[in-house]
Amino acid sequence: MRFPKDFETRMRQMLGSEYDDFAAGWESAPEYRGIRINMLKKGADAAVKVCTGSLEPVSWCKNGFYIDKSMLSGKSPYHMCGLVYFQEPSAMSAVEALGIEENDFVLDLCAAPGGKACQAAERLGEGGLLVANEIVPKRAKILAENIGRMGIRNAVVTNESPERLAEKYEAFFDKIIVDAPCSGEGMFKKEPQASDEWSLEHTYSCAERQKKIISSAFKMLKKGGRLIYSTCTFAPCENEGVTAWVLDSYPEAELLEINLPGMSCARGEWAGTNRNLTAAKRIFPHISKGEGHYNALFRKNEGTSRSCIKEYKCGNEEIFRSFEKDFLNTDLRGEFISFGDKLYLLPHKIDIDKIRVELAGLFLGICKKGRFEPSHELCLALCPDDFKNVQDISEPERYYHGETLPSREKGWTAVIYNGYPIGWGKASEGMLKNHFPKYLRF
C-alpha cells in the first residue's frame, strides 16, 4: 500500500535502515485474524479445535490463536454462544501484560466493542468485578451485547465520560485498562480509509486526548494498583511521548517491565525524551505476527484505597427464585436490582447511583405481572447441569432461524448444541416455542 508522505518520513526517521523491512513486511504479511477461546466455558478449547483442527497459538496470549477466515464465521454456533471472541492478535497483549488476578476490581475505561473487557473477565473468573465503560451510547450497547454473549456474570457496563467516573470511583480499582482512542496507524491494512484520513496533526491531538483520559484513570487507581496503556498506532507522540508524560506528571507512577514474547522495546528517543522506556513494548508487523501495537504498564506506588458500595432493595427477587426453583439447579448469589421490569444480579454492592448504566451485572430477565421471562444472557451464563430441562439439537441453524421444534419437555428449556447452551425455548403440548432473540436470528 502507499503510505501517507508524512507517515513514511517519520517511520524512516524512526527505523532507519530497518524501514525497508518494515515496508516490505507490511506488503507481504497477511492480515492476521485471531480468536480467543473463552476460558469461562469449560472444555471450550477442545470443542473449538474439533471444529477447526490444530491452530497456531498467539505467542503473547495463552488462549489466543491465529485462524483462517474460512474456519469460523460470526454465524458459527461457537461464536453465537460465546465460546470464542474474534480479536486481532496484537490486541490480546494488553490484558495479558496487566496480570489480572481473581477478586480484582478491574476497569476497562474505553471498552467497546469489548475484546479486552471480555478477556479481563476471563482472567477474573467468577470472582472480582469488571466495570466496562464506553462513552458513545451505541458502542456501549454493542459492548453490553458482547459481554452477555460471552456468559460473563460479574460485569457492569457504564456509559460515562472518564471524568464523571473519576468523581464516583476515586482510588477504587486494582487494575485499569486504558486502550485509548488513537490515530490507528497500526490498522492501515485492515482499514485503508484510516490511511486516507490520517494526518500528523491528528496524532498530536490524539496524544492530548489520551493524557486527559489517563489523568482520570490514575485517580481511580488504588495504591499498589496497575494500569495498562495501549494503542494501535506507531506514532511516538501517542506512545513513548504519553508514557514519558505520565512519569513526569505522576511521581507515584512506576513503569513496569512487560515480559511477553514476540515484542520489541519502546525507545524514548523516538519521542524526544531521555527517559529509558524499554520496559514498554511495541509490536511491529515485520517482526511479529500482528498489527502495530503499543503497551506501557504502570504501578501506582502512593495513594489510598476507597470503597464505593451501596445496599439495594429489590422486590422482584422472589419472582426469580420461584423461576429458579422450577427450572434451574442453581442458587445464584449477588445483589438483585431492578430497572423497570428488567431484573439484574449485581456481582458486588457497587454504587451505581447517578451513573449511566447499560448493563448492571447479569441480566436475568423480565418480570411480567408476577411471572418471570428469562433472558438470553442468563442462558449463556449457565452450564447444561444448571438446567432442569434441556433439549439437545444437532442442527442449530433451525433454532437460529426461529423455528419451533418438537419437544418432550415442559416449560422453560435450555437448547443445547454440542454440550453448550445456545438459548431458551418454552415447551408445551409436544412443541418447543423458540425464544432465541429476534434481533439475532439469521
Number of Cβ within 10 Å of residue 371's Cβ equals 10
Number of Cβ within 10 Å of residue 381's Cβ equals 22
Per 3-state DSSP, the chain is made up of helix, strand and coil in percentages (nearest 5) of 35, 25, 40
C-alpha cell at 54: 490444530
Please identify which of the residues 232, 237, 308, 379 carries the catalytic annotation. Answer: 232
Contact assessment for residue 46 and residue 57, using Cβ atoms and an 8 Å cutoff: no
Our answer to whether residue 383 is catalytic in this structure is no
Number of Cβ within 10 Å of residue 65's Cβ equals 23
Strand ranges across the sheet with 405-406: 390-392, 411-417, 420-428, 431-434, 405-406
The phi and psi torsions of 184 (rounded to 5 degrees) equal 70, 30
Cα dist. 65→56, 62, 74, 152, 285 in Å?
A: 6, 8, 16, 21, 16
Alpha carbons 238 and 331: distance in angstroms, whole number: 48
DSSP for 245-304, please give it: HHHHH-TTEEEEPP--TT-EE--GGGGT--S--TTSEEE-TTTSSS--EEEEEEEE-S--
Partnered with residue 423 across adjacent β-strands are: 415
**At 98, which amino acid appears?**
L
Cα dist. 397→79, 257, 436, 442 in Å?
A: 13, 47, 11, 8
Angle between the 5-15 and 19-28 helix axes, to the nearest 10 degrees? 120
Angle between the 137-149 and 115-124 helix axes, to the nearest 10 degrees? 40
The phi and psi torsions of 419 (rounded to 5 degrees) equal 90, 5
Burial class (CB in 10 A: 0-12, 13-18, 19+), 116: buried
Alpha carbons 262 and 288: distance in angstroms, whole number: 6
Catalytic residues: 232
